[in-house]
Amino acid sequence: MRLVIIGGGPAGNTAATVAATLGAEVTVVERDVIGGAANLWDCIPSKAMIATGGELSELTRAGTMGLEAEGRLDVAALRARVAAIEARLHQSVVGLLESQGARMLQGRGRLKGPHEVVVETADGLVELDADTILLATGSRPRIPEWAEIDHDRVLTTRDAYPPPTIPEHLCVIGSGVTGVEFTHMFSALGSEVTLVVSRQQVLPRKDPEVAAVLEDEFLRRGVHLLKGARAKGIERTDEGATVHCDDARQVEAGHVLLCVGSVPNSEELGLDEAGVEVADDGTVPINHHCQSNVAHIYAAGDLSGRLPLSSVAAMQGRKIAEHLMGLHTLEHRHLDYDKAASAIFTEPEIADVGIAEAEAFAEGRKIRVTKVPFAASAAALIQGDPRGFIKVISDPATGVVLGGSIVGRHAAELISVIAVAVTNGLKVGDISDSLFVHPSMSESLADAAW
């Protein structure tokens, strides 16, 4: 089996590793860096900078922990730290691919026909024949027509890592997951931040109770929330830029950061040459095996238009490798996107999985919602951070866990217990009968599952 993969991000490199392990002859074509945008610009640098901001915030709380301490940000050291993490992760992915015998080809790939990929490399064109092809080219930040990015004062998320200096006053446009993470990150690192929120709530698709905890925290830190404001223009000034909103409000800031979604990298991929359908939004539609309309051409990750998460991209990659290598059996579980856990790395953290309360009400579905605040948790009090809560959503008739939301310290880790329950049809009793460590934040999971 000759598999050619275009794109070496989480979707592409996971599929490559698993398929090569299973015996496929794999070539991964990557135009930038193996590890993908996820490693270079998106998940990893943002979480590394957030971790540094988190340590700084911890120091501001030191007094409440019986300590005297103060911290000062060293931007050069932060830049070196982020670069070192990226390099380490890049090396580990490359090492894994090499150890499994996968070939890596540096260059820009495109389809030349249903079974041919052509790659523009530094040494000229290389043509590859394939039995199976995986398209995993990811996405890039969306730039609305009213915004001109100058990569100096008007930025996308790809310009923000790690900046040579921390902006004094930053205006973040967009209050979805990326917008709130960057707002949190830069306010923790010392910027004055104004967040332009087009609706009346940050994280408009999230549970209002969850969003309220984050809004309170932003306000406590002095973040300016400009609610109900839709940006319609950005004007460069001598000292920065002015954001104009459609209701005549405006924000003057040293830097402006656009966080208004992403667009798939599907242009110039030769999709027509191979007869691969593309949707109006530029994504490649897939079935439950991640096959495009051309059965031997798969698509995964952000290009496939499903949940734009690294974890989902990597899981799609693994499922694709298993499917094309014939490991797919009747017992094989399809990837269920509705059961993917996700987290927002703000302070406090926010994580959820499965069905949301508002969604269940909208569908007229009967659910049981049980909620426990961390204010009642010994571990949270000991750690000096009793903000937030755990909410478990279950079926009132059977007790089967359908979903959950967590706001608070370590939410991104704690949600895994609910994710395992949701994926495996466990009941609330399966969680509450489990003996967790005392004192631990996990104990609240057992308390909330009843």
Q: Which residues bind ligand FAD (CB under 6 A)?
A: 6-12, 29-32, 36-38, 42-43, 46-47, 108-110, 136-139, 157, 178, 265, 269, 301-303, 308-311, 313
**Closer to ligand FAD by Cβ: residue 52 or 377:** 52
Q: How far is the CB of 229 from ligand FAD (least distance, A)?
A: 22
**Closer to ligand FAD by Cβ: residue 37 or 133:** 37
Q: Tell me the C-alpha distance between 321 and 24, whole Å.
A: 9
**Closer to ligand FAD by Cβ: residue 32 or 395:** 32
**Closer to ligand FAD by Cβ: residue 142 or 371:** 142
Q: Tell me the C-alpha distance between 313 and 137, whole Å.
A: 11
**Closer to ligand FAD by Cβ: residue 91 or 434:** 91
Report the 10 Å Cβ neighbour count for 399: 16
Contact criterion met (CB below 8 Å) for 62 and 69: yes
**Closer to ligand FAD by Cβ: residue 172 or 309:** 309
**Closer to ligand FAD by Cβ: residue 343 or 446:** 343
Q: How far is the CB of 382 from ligand FAD (least distance, A)?
A: 27
**Closer to ligand FAD by Cβ: residue 302 or 447:** 302
Closest CA to 231 of 159, 158, 144: 144
Exposure letters 192-221 (e unless 16+ CB within 10 A, then b): bbbbbbbeebbbeebbeebbebbbebbeeb
Q: How far is the CB of 32 from ligand FAD (least distance, A)?
A: 4
Q: How far is the CB of 72 from ligand FAD (least distance, A)?
A: 26
Q: How far is the CB of 250 from ligand FAD (least distance, A)?
A: 26
Q: How far is the CB of 37 from ligand FAD (least distance, A)?
A: 3
**Closer to ligand FAD by Cβ: residue 6 or 210:** 6
Q: How far is the CB of 95 from ligand FAD (least distance, A)?
A: 17
Q: How far is the CB of 132 from ligand FAD (least distance, A)?
A: 17
Contact criterion met (CB below 8 Å) for 289 and 328: yes
Q: How far is the CB of 35 from ligand FAD (least distance, A)?
A: 7
Which residues have C-beta within 8 Å of that of residue 202, sequence separation ≥ 6? 175, 179, 180, 195, 211, 214, 215, 218, 225
| Cis amide bond preceding 439, omega within 30 | yes
Cα–Cα separations (whole angstroms), residue 189 to 54, 58, 76, 186, 216: 9, 12, 13, 5, 18
**Closer to ligand FAD by Cβ: residue 110 or 380:** 110
Q: How far is the CB of 384 from ligand FAD (least distance, A)?
A: 25
Q: How far is the CB of 306 from ligand FAD (least distance, A)?
A: 10
Q: How far is the CB of 304 from ligand FAD (least distance, A)?
A: 8
**Closer to ligand FAD by Cβ: residue 108 or 224:** 108
Select the residue whose beta carbon is closest to ligand FAD and give its number. Answer: 301
Q: Tell me the C-alpha distance between 162 and 164, whole Å.
A: 7
**Closer to ligand FAD by Cβ: residue 136 or 325:** 136
